[in-house]
Chain A
Amino acid sequence: MTAIAQQVADFVAASAPFDTLDVESLTDLLTSAELLYVTKENLDTLIGQSRRIYLIQSGQFSVSAGQENPRYVSEGDYFGFQRILDGSDYPMAVTVESPGLVYSFHEAPFKALLRYDSIATFFNGLRHDALQNQAITESKSMWLYKPLYDLTEKTPIGTDVNTPIQQAAQLMTDNRVSSLLITEAGQLVGIVTDRDLRSRVVAAGVDLTNPVSSVMTSSPANVASNLTLFDAMALMTEKNIHHLPILDKDSQEPVGMVTASDIVRHQRGSVLFIIGELSKASSLYELTRLAWQLPHYFSAHAKHAGDYDIAGKVLSQATDIMTRKLIGFFQQDHGKAGMMFSWLVYGSQAREDQTMGSDQDNALLLAESPTKAQADYFAAMADYVCKGLAKCGIKLCSGNIMASNPELRLSLEEAVEQARQWVNAPTKDAIMHFNIFLDARCAAGDVGLFKTLQHQRMPLLKQSLFLAALSRHANEVSVPLSMFQKFTYEKGGKLKDTIDLKVRAVALINNIVRIYALAGGISVPGTLARLSLLPENSELSTKDAANLRDIWIFLNRLRWRHQLQHNVADNSVSVSSLSSIERHQLKASFQAIERAQKAIIMNFSGGMA
């Protein structure tokens, strides 16, 4: 006879974290519960006298417990649990904004459920306003985002160029390494590997007292210590090498070595397969054929949250390689450029958070003003590369932010002058226009030239009036939450409950982090990299930075999953397609972004929005 109504079971069993309960625990919780129809008039007789945990099914309320500011709550939100967790009956003020249904669970059965990790973690997290980030710290892919200097603990094994071959080999044996860094006055000049000793020494019958410099590989490929292991692995795959020296980003001294066994150890070879394949392409036709496999490759290989975490990086690296390949193909036919140039990428490709829908944003930076012939050469190259990328599936930019646009083929001098103009007149329209250029990276050509540009404009972009203008701009778009903290949806979409996670969330974090990065003089474009490199004295606390990082990863997982599951290139994620806990996390994320937006106004614009 005694029964639980389906409508009750359906709602509560779908509400995180109770969705993790077995039927028996759920029944215990429900049979002692009450379902309340709460209005302004009956509120005082229904809520607040005893310790209960309340779960809202419909209606809108505001709650303040103890001294805290009122919190607006609605469907799916809990309140009252703090008093149970704290074992204290501090006053809780509730007001009804619109009447609705509220479940009231008793203290004892709720406390009994706290023995489950999933339940205890959820409510403790809710109390501390933290994103439920357990899943993110557990991600098997997070190490890929770690800067190399975090991974290089051992002192690098190396020797001077004049060391005899035999002594160098002895050093390798003693230290059980398969390669040796060769230095001259502290700077890296080459490397020697087991293979070199076999083919260039033993097989060639070279005198073992000769200096090691005679058999080393000179000017080897290398990677800066502030880049990530992922970057290193992508570079090794692209160049088909097994040893990659790591150089300190400032002193350029060697600090370590990444080897192929590092890749094997992390078993991420399959992720990089596509990069290796693209690198082998020898014609435009082959390159486009491989590039068109990318969506298929992602849907086949990216199944878990950890895969989504690096998908943006893989796609950006792939786009970089296509670019380098295309420039190479062009130069095979038209010869080398008459001067140094950098192929710059902006926006998502620069930040390495590309998704399937991202279009190309690029430009050319020239060492000096070109002659007519040089200008024609670069125009032809830009045209070839941009069209080639489009053939590879990287859409042409609708806003014409492409190297094929003559306005985006500036000389170094012009580019610095341009930055000065941005800083001098950061109007709303101007920021809309140049915001994307503030996330830049050199994907091909001469990195040094781009570094010179960055170095010259860094002091300009740090100016406080400029940062104040950017901060105000970063507050123009708000998170999609109503005053009652309900999700607000896009109008006119095919589905009724979609939110563009790129425009309304990810881009907001990118904007916020960019401002802290500019203020801190950080030149890398990636949002996660910027967060990890923020200086100790940054206005953004370590805790807030970690929280923004987790939120950013969470949001990117949601949009990648959306794109791959539905085979689409947009970021309009349907809220009803999310699990209950994801909806809670999403709301907490939006709330945290909103707080971070307010914080940059306080930090950089003197509180004036």
Chain B
Amino acid sequence: MLQWLSDWLSGRGQASFDRFKGATLQDTTLMSIDLELTSLNANESEITSFGWVCGRNSSIALETSAYSIVKTNASLGQSPVIHGLIQDNIAKGEKIEDVLTEFIAQLPSKVLVIHNANLDLAVLDAVFRRLNLPAQEVYYIDTLQLALYELKKKHEVIPPNSASLGACLLRAGLPEVPQHNALEDAMAALLLCYAQLASLGLTQQSCLADLSHTKALGRKTLGVVKP
């Protein structure tokens, strides 16, 4: 992994980004992630739970489903109402370092799928910095951006809430998520991603670069790159 990491650090990031964009979908393993947070402000928010699930070729391997409740002392603010976590559960959770170690171990050769990548990646970046973790370059597909791209084709002004995960699932004819939870939302986002790629006409032989015009592809460095 360190070799892989050093590729980035030595300034070959752009080359890798291009390689990732050039890979066909059938050679790309997607890892959909979702975080539940104590706040929508990335700098002060803490992660209360972390869920992910992996798949490729329009298929989800259920055994890759993972869900962790994170131990935190931060005030939960309003979010427990949404996410159903209560202080007790959180106190019993795992340490964020352990969860992130597992996350980092999954990263090589995977492309992340996130609904609203900006927020989740900003929080991850802040946590990486706070914990002084080695920097990680991640590539991602943002299903929110894919949804906005589709919506902009149909609407001059995008209707309010029409790009929320729930609204997107409904439009794609996918089952609604029973209760908000990091794993449920991660799985839903991956299914949504499959539906969106299909509706854009992409096949397993298509490249991720075929999504460039949608602004849904991105890369981001989590944590501080040390000289």
Determine the distance from Cα of A91 to Cα of B102 in the docked complex, in whole angstroms: 42
Binary flags per residue of A37-59, CB closer than 8 Å to B gives 1, else 0: 11101100110000000000111
Report if A3 contacts B (CB, 8 A). Answer: yes
Range for the number of chain B residues in contact with chain A:
20 to 34
Contact of B63 among A11, A31, A58 (CB under 8 A): A31
The reply to whether A37 and B175 form a contact with Cβ atoms under 8 Å apart is no
Contact of B58 among A7, A30, A33, A38 (CB under 8 A): A38
Contact of B61 among A11, A34, A41, A46 (CB under 8 A): A34
Binary flags per residue of B51-63, CB closer than 8 Å to A gives 1, else 0: 1010101111111
Contacts of B175 in A (CB 8 A): 7, 11, 57-58, 101
Determine the distance from Cα of A30 to Cα of B65 in the docked complex, in whole angstroms: 11
Report if A1 contacts B (CB, 8 A). Answer: yes
Determine the distance from Cα of A99 to Cα of B197 in the docked complex, in whole angstroms: 13
Contacts of A31 in B (CB 8 A): 62-63
Contact of B62 among A1, A33, A38 (CB under 8 A): A33
Q: Which residues A41-94 have CB closer than 8 A to chain B?
A: 41-42, 45-46, 57-59
Stretch touching chain A among B120-128, B140-148, B159-167, B181-189: B181-189
Contacts of B51 in A (CB 8 A): 3
Report if B177 contacts A (CB, 8 A). Answer: yes
A48 to chain B, nearest CB (A): 14
Binary flags per residue of B34-66, CB closer than 8 Å to A gives 1, else 0: 000000000000000001010101111111011
Determine the distance from Cα of A45 to Cα of B25 in the docked complex, in whole angstroms: 13
Report if A35 contacts B (CB, 8 A). Answer: yes
With both beta carbons as reference points, the residue of chain A lying nearest to B99 in the complex is identified as A1
The reply to whether A36 and B173 form a contact with Cβ atoms under 8 Å apart is no
CB contact under 8 A between A37 and B58, given known A58-B173, A101-B174: yes
Report if A483 contacts B (CB, 8 A). Answer: no
The reply to whether B57 and A5 form a contact with Cβ atoms under 8 Å apart is no
The reply to whether B62 and A35 form a contact with Cβ atoms under 8 Å apart is yes
B107 to chain A, nearest CB (A): 16
CB contact under 8 A between A99 and B198, given known A5-B183, A35-B191, A38-B58: yes
Report if A185 contacts B (CB, 8 A). Answer: no
Report if A577 contacts B (CB, 8 A). Answer: no
The reply to whether A36 and B66 form a contact with Cβ atoms under 8 Å apart is no
Binary flags per residue of B177-205, CB closer than 8 Å to A gives 1, else 0: 11101011001100100110010000110
Contacts of A59 in B (CB 8 A): 173
Report if A32 contacts B (CB, 8 A). Answer: yes
The reply to whether B184 and A46 form a contact with Cβ atoms under 8 Å apart is no
Range for the number of chain A residues in contact with chain B:
20 to 34
Contacts of B8 in A (CB 8 A): none
CB contact under 8 A between A36 and B59, given known A7-B187, A101-B174: yes
Interface of B is mostly: mixed
Report if B67 contacts A (CB, 8 A). Answer: yes
Report if B68 contacts A (CB, 8 A). Answer: yes
The reply to whether A101 and B191 form a contact with Cβ atoms under 8 Å apart is yes
B47 to chain A, nearest CB (A): 15
The reply to whether B198 and A6 form a contact with Cβ atoms under 8 Å apart is no
Binary flags per residue of A425-463, CB closer than 8 Å to B gives 1, else 0: 000000000000000000000000000000000000000
Contact of A7 among B177, B195, B203, B204 (CB under 8 A): B177
Contact of A39 among B61, B67, B187, B198 (CB under 8 A): B198
Q: Which residues B56-102 have CB closer than 8 A to chain A?
A: 57-63, 65-68, 102
CB contact under 8 A between A1 and B198, given known A30-B62, A42-B203, A42-B204: no
Contacts of B62 in A (CB 8 A): 4-5, 8, 30-35
Contacts of B61 in A (CB 8 A): 34
B141 to chain A, nearest CB (A): 15
Contact of B102 among A1, A35, A46 (CB under 8 A): A1
Report if A2 contacts B (CB, 8 A). Answer: yes
Q: Which residues A101-146 have CB closer than 8 A to chain B?
A: 101, 104
Contacts of A57 in B (CB 8 A): 175
Determine the distance from Cα of A30 to Cα of B62 in the docked complex, in whole angstroms: 7
Report if A10 contacts B (CB, 8 A). Answer: yes
Report if A269 contacts B (CB, 8 A). Answer: no
Most buried by A among B53, B58, B183: B58
Contact of A35 among B59, B67, B173 (CB under 8 A): B59
Report if A100 contacts B (CB, 8 A). Answer: yes
B16 to chain A, nearest CB (A): 27
Determine the distance from Cα of A100 to Cα of B178 in the docked complex, in whole angstroms: 18
With both beta carbons as reference points, the residue of chain A lying nearest to B57 in the complex is identified as A45
Determine the distance from Cα of A36 to Cα of B65 in the docked complex, in whole angstroms: 15
With both beta carbons as reference points, the residue of chain B lying nearest to A41 in the complex is identified as B203
Q: Which residues B134-174 have CB closer than 8 A to chain A?
A: 173-174
Determine the distance from Cα of A30 to Cα of B188 in the docked complex, in whole angstroms: 17
The reply to whether A37 and B194 form a contact with Cβ atoms under 8 Å apart is yes
Contacts of B195 in A (CB 8 A): 37, 99
Contact of A34 among B59, B173, B187 (CB under 8 A): B59
Contact of A45 among B68, B188, B191, B204 (CB under 8 A): B204
B167 to chain A, nearest CB (A): 17
Contacts of A99 in B (CB 8 A): 173, 195, 198
Determine the distance from Cα of A37 to Cα of B51 in the docked complex, in whole angstroms: 20
Determine the distance from Cα of A492 to Cα of B65 in the docked complex, in whole angstroms: 42
Determine the distance from Cα of A506 to Cα of B139 in the docked complex, in whole angstroms: 59
B93 to chain A, nearest CB (A): 11
Determine the distance from Cα of A4 to Cα of B187 in the docked complex, in whole angstroms: 10
With both beta carbons as reference points, the residue of chain B lying nearest to A3 in the complex is identified as B67
A103 to chain B, nearest CB (A): 9
Determine the distance from Cα of A511 to Cα of B188 in the docked complex, in whole angstroms: 48
With both beta carbons as reference points, the residue of chain A lying nearest to B60 in the complex is identified as A35
Most buried by B among A1, A7, A30, A37: A37
The reply to whether B60 and A7 form a contact with Cβ atoms under 8 Å apart is no
Most buried by A among B26, B53, B60, B61: B60
The reply to whether B184 and A32 form a contact with Cβ atoms under 8 Å apart is no
CB contact under 8 A between A7 and B188, given known A37-B194, A37-B195, A58-B174: yes
Contacts of B188 in A (CB 8 A): 7
CB contact under 8 A between A42 and B179, given known A1-B66, A1-B102, A3-B65: no
Contact residues of A with B, CB < 8 Å?
1-8, 10-11, 30-39, 41-42, 45-46, 57-59, 98-101, 104
List 17 interface pairs A-B (beta carbons < 8 Å), by A numbering. Answer: A1-B66, A3-B51, A3-B65, A3-B183, A7-B184, A34-B62, A35-B59, A35-B62, A36-B59, A36-B60, A37-B58, A37-B59, A37-B195, A39-B198, A42-B57, A58-B173, A101-B191
Contact residues of B with A, CB < 8 Å?
26, 51, 53, 55, 57-63, 65-68, 102, 173-175, 177-179, 181, 183-184, 187-188, 191, 194-195, 198, 203-204
Q: A30-B62, A36-B59, A99-B173 are in contact. List 16 more A-B contacts (CB 8 A).
A: A3-B66, A3-B183, A4-B65, A5-B62, A5-B187, A7-B178, A7-B184, A7-B188, A34-B59, A34-B62, A36-B58, A41-B203, A46-B57, A58-B173, A98-B173, A104-B59
- A-B interface, 8 closest residue pairs, ranked by CB to CB distance from nearest: A3-B67, A37-B194, A35-B60, A37-B58, A39-B198, A1-B66, A31-B63, A5-B187
